[in-house]
Amino acid sequence: MTAYVARRLLQLLPVLLFVSAIVFFVFRVIPGDAAVARLGESADPESVARLRRVMGLDRPVYVQYLLWLGHAVRADLGESQINRQGVFSLVIEKFPATLELAVIGIGLSMLISVPVGVFSALRRGSWPDHVTRLGAMIGFCVPRYWLAVLLILFFAVHWRVLPPAGYVSLSESLVANLRFATLPALSVALTLAAVQMRFLRSSLLEIIAQDYIRTAHAKGLAHRVVVLHHALKNALIPFITVAGLEFGNLLGGLVVVEQIFSWPGVGWLMVQSIIHRDYAVVQGAVLLIATGFVTINLLVDVAYAALDPRIRYA
Amino acid sequence: MKALLALIRDRAALAGALLFGVVLASAILAPRLAPYDPLAVRVSERLQLPSAQHPFGTDEIGRDVLSRIIFGARSSLGVGVIAVGIAATLGTALGLLAGYYGGFPGTMIMRGVDGLLAFPAIILAMALIATLGPSLVNAAIAIGIVFIPSFARLAQASALSLKEREYVEAARASGATDGYVLARVLLPNHLSPLLVQISVSFANAILTEAALSFLGLGVLPPTPSWGGMLDTGRKYLDQTPWYSVASGGAIMVAVLGLNLLGDGLRDVLDPRLRGQRSAGDAVLRAGELTARS
């Protein structure tokens, strides 16, 4: 296991290096001179040249990349052009809000998908199975942002039971925080649950067809016991992996949800920074989101290997 | 022909084809179908509820919402065609080359492709648009680049297994050049999975375009786009909810249609996967989950 983790960690390095290179060079494409942009069009050529030297813009591109990378690994990603705050702390500050929404959303989605998925597999071919599968197909195709708008329409505009948008931090008030989190988390949970439920149902059905399940039946165990104790345990391993991958994907998937509900997470910050052309923040946010994404996927792989020894030796 | 017949017999695929057909017809026949000019402003008729004159009501400056939704199909399908065109062409070419030649160049290509997968799709698309500037074409280019990995991986897998076949060896033995083998032997045999991937990616491209336009990073006003209308409409939910709801419904119809069609295509073209029909599982299999937004 230790060797496996070490190998995976080593594989992470070139990926992160590649990610940083993409992030650096994508933002080099921006038209115009960064020094001119900072000083303004009317700046005299001499001070532009001086700033270019200070910023390292007169050096070859690969040197600039290495310099930037050197700063980046020391958590120095430059500063926001709007409020001069350090980009790293600006982005990290927003992570807890995004993380909270992702955790609540995933947790809620599992509370829905596991019982529904098991029920649907147990009653394969019955009409409740067909209804839940149709529901899952619709849930799979509903754009999350549309679902969010529908939730606002019903819960905030019509029934006025929940706020349409906004945020109160956890430390301020737990109750208020959860009230604001309910609709965004629901819009995440319902769409994720659709995918999870279909996945769990099909892997359960696949496992139920296997020999050891037949053996369990032959021993005279009740169908329910066989499914819940023998089949579900094995079906949950890939299911947890999928949920873990979804968790990583939410780093991107939450962008629109955060925007709709004015939820001040990393995605929200990124959209605001793009609108205000605050490129340093956008670049830093992309780098940190990608790093988080790659790291979460690695953790999921390791967890998968820990749960299922077959993976380690594959 | 046999495949086409099988597709017509598959009820879900037929429903998908009909749904997508409606969207396609809207895009092509928009000027004939739309009751009003999608850009015609009538401030006196702003934010009306649905009526016989305006089935989905009017927007914040009195434009007919139905007409804008019909014309919006052009933005969505336009972006979808360009994006999937870029991704399918570049991705398939890179994947076939990597799989056929293998070795160091093949590894380098696939590592580059994996590097693109290290970003959540919409984040990379947003980063590209931040530097290119928001517009319909730039959104399409960004989505196209983001979708390259799924096509490249699929093509590489095809090439790896196909190149061991006897007919490929036979073609080479009879003096065919590498270019001939790639274009005339490998590519035609890769068409079935490619078609399925195109339909799934098309749905994802429409979803991503709508998300970008929703964020103000895609199709710019006054050009009608479903994502943009969904965004503007949500500010008037208490006055005319149909504005936003109908725009989102259009996205849903297009995506549902393409997914059903993709499922059907998979069953017909790829008999190995028969019995596994479900868009969710297919998406997970293709490692496409990242493209959801």
Instruction: Give dist(CA A60, CA A253) in Å, integer.
Output: 36
| ipTM score assigned to the predicted complex | 0.88
Supply the DSSP symbol for B48.
P
CB contact under 8 A, B280 and A274: no
Question: Best interface-test mutation with B: which of A17, A26, A28, A149 has the largest number of B CBs within 10 A?
Answer: A149
pLDDT at B1 (0 to 100): 67
Q: Which residues have C-beta within 8 Å of that of residue A28, sequence separation ≥ 6?
A: A61
pLDDT tens sequence across A64-117: 889 889 888 888 888 888 888 999 999 999 999 999 999 999 999 999 999 999
User: Per-residue pLDDT for B288 more than 50?
Assistant: no
Task: Read off the pLDDT of each residue in B165-172 and give the average, rounded to a whole number.
Answer: 89
User: Measured between CA atoms, how close is A249 to chain B, in angstroms?
Assistant: 6
For range A283-291, the mean pLDDT: 93
| Beta bridge pairs of residue B64 | B58
Reading the block at residue B181, the tokens are: 């083998």
B108 and chain A: CB distance < 8 Å anywhere? no
CA-based nearest residue to A204, from A123, A286, A284, A131: A123
pLDDT higher for A148 or A35?
A148
Set of chain A residues whose Cβ sits within 8 Å of the Cβ of B130:
27, 274, 279, 282
- Quick one: average pLDDT of A8-24? 88
Residue B276 has pLDDT above 50, yes or no: no
How far lies B182's CA from each of A239, B169, B171, in Å?
38, 12, 11
**Interface probe, candidates B122, B135, B146, chain A, greatest A C-beta count within 10 A:** B122
pLDDT digits (tens, 9 = 90+) for B81-110: 999 999 999 999 999 999 999 889 998 898
Q: What mean pLDDT is predicted for residues B239-248?
A: 93
Structure tokens, B210? 């709508």
A270 CB neighbours in chain B (<8 A) are 123, 126
CA distances (Å), A50 to each of A57, A76, A84, B184, in order? 10, 22, 20, 58
Q: Do B234 and A152 touch (CB under 8 A)?
A: yes
Q: What's the CA gap between B197 and B222, in Å, rounded? A: 32
CA dist B59 and B48 (Å) reads: 7
Q: What is the mean pLDDT of residues A242-271?
A: 92
Residue A246 CB neighbours (<10 A): 23
CB atoms inside a 10 Å sphere around CB B118: 20
Chain A CA closest to residue B214: A256
- Predicted local distance difference test score (pLDDT) of residue B97: 95
**In the block, which residue shows the tokens 């496992």?**
A207
Judged against a pLDDT cut of 60, whether residue B281 lies above it is answered with no
Cα–Cα distance for residue pair A56/A35, rounded to 1 Å: 10
Q: E-strand spans in chain A?
A: none
How long a stretch of residues is chain A? 314
Model confidence pLDDT, tens digit, residues A138-167: 888 899 999 999 999 999 999 999 999 999
Quote the pLDDT of residue B219: 92
Would you place residue B283 in the very low, low, confident or very high pLDDT band (cuts 50, 70, 90)? Answer: very low
Any long-range contacts for B23-26 (C-beta under 8 Å, 24+ apart)? B23/B73, B23/B76, B23/B77, B23/B250, B23/B253, B23/B254, B23/B257, B24/B73, B24/B77, B26/B69, B26/B70, B26/B73
Side-chain half-sphere CA neighbours of B117 within 13 A: 19
Cα dihedral A248, A249, A250, A254 sign = positive
User: pLDDT-derived band of residue B287, with 50, 70 and 90 as boundaries?
Assistant: very low
Return the bridge partners of A86, or none.
Answer: A79
The yes-or-no verdict on residue A178 having pLDDT over 50 is: yes
Angle between helices A2-26 and B103-116 (to 10 degrees): 80
Share of chain A above pLDDT 70, in %: 97
For the four alpha carbons of B18, B23, B26 and B29, in that order, the dihedral sign comes to negative
Q: In this predicted structure, what is the pLDDT of residue B289?
A: 36
The DSSP line for A48-82 is HHHHHHHHTTTS-HHHHHHHHHHHHHTT---B-TT
Mean pLDDT of chain A: 88
3-state secondary structure of A314: coil
Distance of CA B209 to the CA centre of its chain: 9
The answer, yes or no, to whether residue B73 has pLDDT greater than 50, is: yes
Residue-level length of chain B: 293
pTM of the model: 0.89
